[in-house]
Every structure is written in C-alpha cells, then in structure tokens.
Amino acid sequence: MSSQPTPAAAPSAAATPDAAHYVRIVDVSKKFGDFTAVDHVSLDIRRGEIFCLLGGSGSGKTTLLRMLAGFETPTTGRIEIEGQDLSRVPPYERPVNMMFQSYALFPHMSVEKNVAFGLEQEHLGRDAIRRQVGEILEIVKMSGYGARKPHQLSGGQRQRVALARALVKRPKLLLLDEPLAALDKKLREHTQFELLNIQQRLGVTFIVVTHDQEEAMTLGTRLGVMNHGRIVQVGTPSDIYESPATRFVADFIGSVNMFAGEVCANGADGLCIRSADLGCTVRAERAAGGAHGATVWTAIRPEKVQISRTPPEGAEAAGGENLVAGAVKEIAYMGDTSIYLVRLDSGSMLRVTLPNVLRGAERPIAREERVWLSWHGSSPVVLTE
C-alpha cells in the first residue's frame, strides 16, 4: 500500500518530527519466549488523527498498544513521539495516557479524585487541579457527578470518566483499548460520535485498538489491519474496504464472495479471469498485474451484486462476462437489508445483500427461485495473495 511507511534511515535525533511522523513505530518486535506477538511492525501516525489498530484476538494489536503505553518493552525496534525515543521510558514518565478496556477506575476514589489522580502526580497546585478537573468533566458532560464513586455510575458514565481521566493530563498520545466494547449497541453509536467530537475539540492524537470493524470504520481516520503480529494493510476505511490488499483483509473487513480463477487476458479494458468455481468469466476493470495463466482470487462484495429474474440487458453483448445464474437457497431478512444465499450452477454459494428500499415490495424473490446475478466491471477486486 502507498501509506506503508519506510524504515527510518536517518537517526532519530536528526529526524524532523513533522506532522506525518508524529508517532513513529520503527521495526518493533515483541517476543514472549518463543512466541512472537508483534513481528517487525513499522508504522507512522499523523498528528491529530484517530488511528485504529484492527485485528482478531492474538493478532498482536493489544501488545503493540501496551508497548506504546510502556507496559511492555519492545524486544527490538524503536517507538518515537515527536522524535523522542520512548522505547525504554517507563509508563509513568511517558507523555502518553491510556483508556483501559475495563476503564480501570479506582473504586475507592470519587470521580473527582479519579480524574485528579494524574494531575496530583505532576504536583500541581490544588486550585489548578480543581479547575482542570472541572473543565474536563464539563467536556465529557459529567459535571454533576464529581462526588460519586465509580460503582454509582452507569456503564456509559464510567466510560466518560475514564476518558476524562486519560485526557486531563493533555497527553501527546491517547491510547484507547476497545473503548466501546463494554457498552450496549444504542449507547455505542451515540458514544462513538461524542468521542469523535471530543477528539476534534482537543486535537489529541488517538490510537484505538479494536476487534470490531464497525467501530474501527466509524472512528478511524486511518486503519491498520493486523494479523499474526504483522500489519497487513494501512489505509483509510474506504481504501481498506474497497481495495483490500490481501485475501485476509478482504475477508476480515465486511463479508465477501471470494473465488479462485486463472488470468485469461490482460488488456486495456482490465483483467479477465476465468473461474471454474464461479462458472463465468470475470472482467475486473480496475485491476492491474497478473500474468497470463496465473492463479488469482476475485473478491466481490455482496452489496455490489445485482439480482434479477431475467438476464440484465446488455448481458448478451458482454459475452456472459460478470454474469452467473443460480437458485436462491436462503433469505435472511435483516430489516434494512436482506441477505440472499444463491447456489450457482457451478455448485458454489454466492452471497448477495440488497437494501429493502420499498416497503412491502410487490413480489419479493422467493426461495428456490432461479435468478441471474451480475455486477459492474469496477466491482471485482483481484488478489494475488
């Protein structure tokens, strides 16, 4: 990917800490015995962005976050913020704060005391502490709750207090470990937008770790997808969704129909792939590379497939490219969309998502009905690994 960082050639002292290299993770690895949790990760984080590290459990995202916070020391590599090497700096001396997944509010202290804890360590005056605590509680809309103990708060309120406590020291970098995982769905959406709002107001750089792709997509200005301790792809949410770099990313983010095939032509009008699994020839307009006869995978998102009872117009002219037929096997009604599982004539299954635009359509497609499936030439993504 274009945004893949290059390893730092210049020594850190000489490097100018510009906005694009605000936080630099340079060739960082972490081993626990024989197990490599983080494997040669290099990453640049821009000033003021929300960077989401997305990955399944055991992908190394949490270990990377803990190294940024200082709870783990990298086995190799460097972590820099504004050009300052922090790899060996203990957590209590880093200009970095963290919001824990469990929130980790001190149960024996009131909300005010919790938020003030970080400022007290800086030996600020009592008035300055009280003023700053008041300000930050105002920002997270928890002004009236200063005297409460954490167990007297609801989940959403605890989350705000945890955020306030982490932000009150004005860290150069705020780390958020699954910030919304403990909230229920409705509250989550609301909090998501509020989090964005607060981040923009304070201009603090956020790094968010999450396994929830929806959370990552809505929060992140950029995402880094991790697998087996490596960063697989870095990009904006739409980059990653529309142009996944590998089969893993395509499969991990959203759902996808993936079919193996062979390159049969590589012309100006795109790549032509013959797929026995799919039972048709795929023309991918926005795909480059792929030698004749090479095995590749085509990935088609379910919402980019059209479904119809008759072959779409112009299909004959295209010579049956990007067109397959099959029988509907399952229909799942989701309210806003419906998911159709279609068994193709080749025997493979294809997943199609359609928005339910009309209320009570006149004759919906039923199970076992024969349908034609087609997609635009710009839709297929061709993957080689």
CB of 187 or CB of 325, closer to another protein:
187
Length of the chain: 385
Beta bridge partners of 327: 343, 370
Nearest approach in angstroms of CB 369 to another protein is 46
Write the CB contacts of 217 (distance below 8 Å, at least 6 apart in sequence): 223, 237, 241, 253
CB of 108 or CB of 201, closer to another protein:
108
Tokens (6 digits) for 161: 């207090």
Tell me which residues in 46-75 interact with another protein (CB under 8 A).
69-71
- Give the Cα separation of 157 and 160 in Å (integer): 5
Q: Binding residue for another protein (CB under 8 A) from 2, 6, 10, 107?
A: 107
Nearest approach in angstroms of CB 28 to another protein is 19
Q: Binding residue for another protein (CB under 8 A) from 17, 48, 83, 100?
A: 100
Q: At what angle do helices 126-139 and 185-202 cross, to 10 degrees?
A: 130
Q: Is 117 in the site for another protein (CB under 8 A)?
A: yes
CB atoms within 10 A of CB 148: 15
- Give the Cα separation of 309 and 325 in Å (integer): 10
Tokens (6 digits) for 207: 């790094």
Q: Binding residue for another protein (CB under 8 A) from 21, 24, 61, 165?
A: 165
CB atoms within 10 A of CB 125: 9
Q: Binding residue for another protein (CB under 8 A) from 106, 181, 193, 332?
A: 106
Nearest approach in angstroms of CB 345 to another protein is 53
Beta bridge partners of 382: 298
For residue 92, CA distances in Å to 9, 118, 128, 173, 371 come to 30, 10, 21, 14, 63
Q: Is 359 in the site for another protein (CB under 8 A)?
A: no
* x/- letters, 228..257, toward another protein (CB under 8 A): ------------------------------
DSSP string, 301-335: -GGGEEEESSPPTTTTTTTTTTEEEEEEEEEEE-S
CB of 114 or CB of 233, closer to another protein:
114
Tell me which residues in 131-150 interact with another protein (CB under 8 A).
149
CB of 100 or CB of 372, closer to another protein:
100
Write the CB contacts of 367 (distance below 8 Å, at least 6 apart in sequence): 328, 329, 330, 331
Nearest approach in angstroms of CB 195 to another protein is 15
Nearest approach in angstroms of CB 268 to another protein is 56
- Give the Cα separation of 257 and 25 in Å (integer): 34
CB of 21 or CB of 160, closer to another protein:
160
Q: Is 197 in the site for another protein (CB under 8 A)?
A: no
Q: Is 102 in the site for another protein (CB under 8 A)?
A: yes
Tell me which residues in 79-98 interact with another protein (CB under 8 A).
90-93, 96-98
Residue 292: closest CA among 278, 274, 307: 274
Nearest approach in angstroms of CB 349 to another protein is 42
Residue 175: closest CA among 167, 185, 187: 167
Interface residue list for another protein (CB under 8 A): 69-71, 90-93, 96-98, 100-102, 104, 106-108, 117-118, 121-122, 149, 151-157, 165-166, 169, 187
